[in-house]
């Protein structure tokens, strides 16, 4: 059995909005092992994105524990968290979030600016990453010169260019047509199966979830027990 890379226990996140408190995630306990491709599923507002953000250390839990890659994320300062994320996490957004004034290769190079690599090495790594996602011929294109699917592939190249242990994807196909979505999902599966990356993907699309090796469901902020599928969900992981 492979090692546990993500482990949460009674993880809770409460947001305060003015005088109101909203519990986005309540007592979520989950274990994800190295090399797994897990889909976090649930309707809007179920807490799946909150769980993803907590795993990415983009949020701090209100209570509970969270260990990712053997690191207690609560013990890290903001600066340490940023450095940890740069080294260990590749994040893919729903809306690509490329920097519009930078070319494809400059966007992919962005996380490498925080490493010790020199300019030539950064360029080589970024070129390799873009070639891996099939965009070796689009290096100098600006985001506005790319299609949505290509933009998301650049975003995936940016997520994997630092060779992170974890790829976290938040609705990566939400803004794509079906063909582009298929390409992106295939790419994530390839990264998981052929490159051994642990992938956690948030989605509410059963078809997208079918690319994962495991699906976990959330409902009203609660993580349902493993294997438990809400009545109105019929998908089985592929």
Partner 1 sequence: MLRLLPLIFKNSLRSKRRSILTILSVTMSFTLLGVLFAMYNALYFEDPTPSQALRLITRNRISLTVILPASYKQKIKAVPGVQDLYISMWFGGTYKDQAQDQRNNFARFAVEPEDFFKVQKDLVLPEDQKQAFLKERTACLVGKRLADKLGIRLGERLVLKGDIFPGDKELMVRGIFEDPLADETLFFNIEYLYQSLPAGRRDFAGTFNILAKSKDDVSAIQRDVDEMFKNAPVQTRTETEAAFALSFVSFLGNVKVFLLVICGAVTFTILLVSANTMAMAVRERVREVGVMKTLGFTNGGILFLILGDAVVLSLVGAALGCLVASGLAAGVAANAGGFIAQFKNLSLTPPTVVFIFGFSVVVALISSFVPAMNAARTNILDTLKYSG
Footprint of partner 1 (CB under 8 A): 53, 56, 58-59, 78-79, 82-83, 85-87, 91, 93, 97, 99-102, 106, 110-111, 113-114, 119, 158
42: Cβ–Cβ under 8 A, 6 or more apart, which residues? Answer: 48, 204, 217, 218, 219
Q: Which is nearer to partner 1, 122 or 216 (CB)?
A: 122
Least separation in angstroms between CB 134 and partner 1: 22
Q: Which is nearer to partner 1, 103 or 233 (CB)?
A: 103
Q: Which is nearer to partner 1, 13 or 138 (CB)?
A: 13
For 101-118, give the DSSP string.
Answer: TS-HHHHHHGGGGGSS--
**Helix, coil or strand: residue 68:** strand
Q: Which is nearer to partner 1, 81 or 176 (CB)?
A: 81
Least separation in angstroms between CB 100 and partner 1: 8
Least separation in angstroms between CB 154 and partner 1: 13
Least separation in angstroms between CB 54 and partner 1: 11
220/222 Cα distance (integer angstroms) = 6
Least separation in angstroms between CB 76 and partner 1: 12
Per-residue b/e over 110-127, b at no fewer than 16 CB within 10 Å? ebbeeeebeeeebbebbb
106/102 Cα distance (integer angstroms) = 5
- Spatial CA neighbour of 46 closest among 163, 193, 204: 204
Cβ pair 6, 32 in contact under 8 A: yes
Residue 181 corresponds to which tokens in the numbers above? 């979505």
Cβ pair 105, 140 in contact under 8 A: yes
234: Cβ–Cβ under 8 A, 6 or more apart, which residues? Answer: 206
Q: Which is nearer to partner 1, 138 or 158 (CB)?
A: 158
Least separation in angstroms between CB 217 and partner 1: 22
Least separation in angstroms between CB 158 and partner 1: 7
Q: Which is nearer to partner 1, 38 or 159 (CB)?
A: 159
Q: Which is nearer to partner 1, 168 or 188 (CB)?
A: 168
């Amino acid at each position: 059995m492979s090692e546990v890379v993500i482990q949460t226990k009674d993880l809770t996140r409460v947001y305060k909005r003015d005088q109101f408190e909203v519990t986005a995630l309540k007592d979520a306990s989950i274990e994800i092992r190295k090399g797994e491709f897990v889909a976090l599923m649930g309707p809007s507002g179920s807490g799946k994105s909150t769980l993803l953000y907590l795993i990415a250390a983009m949020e701090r839990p209100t209570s509970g524990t969270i260990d990712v890659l053997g690191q207690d994320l609560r013990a890290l300062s903001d600066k340490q968290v940023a450095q940890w994320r740069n080294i260990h996490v590749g994040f893919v957004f729903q809306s690509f979030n490329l920097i519009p004034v930078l070319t494809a290769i400059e966007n992919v190079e962005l996380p490498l600016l925080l490493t010790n690599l020199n300019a030539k090495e950064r360029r080589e790594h970024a070129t390799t990453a873009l070639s891996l996602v099939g965009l070796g011929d689009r290096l100098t294109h600006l985001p506005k010169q790319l299609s949505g699917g290509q933009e998301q592939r650049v975003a995936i190249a940016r997520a994997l260019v630092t060779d992170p242990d974890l790829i976290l994807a938040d609705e990566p196909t939400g803004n794509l047509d079906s063909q582009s979505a298929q390409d992106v999902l295939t790419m994530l599966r390839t990264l998981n199966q052929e490159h051994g990356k642990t992938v956690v993907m948030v989605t509410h699309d059963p078809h997208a979830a079918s690319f994962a090796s495991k699906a976990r469901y959330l409902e009203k902020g609660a993580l349902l027990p493993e294997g438990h599928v809400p009545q109105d969900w019929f998908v089985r992981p592929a």
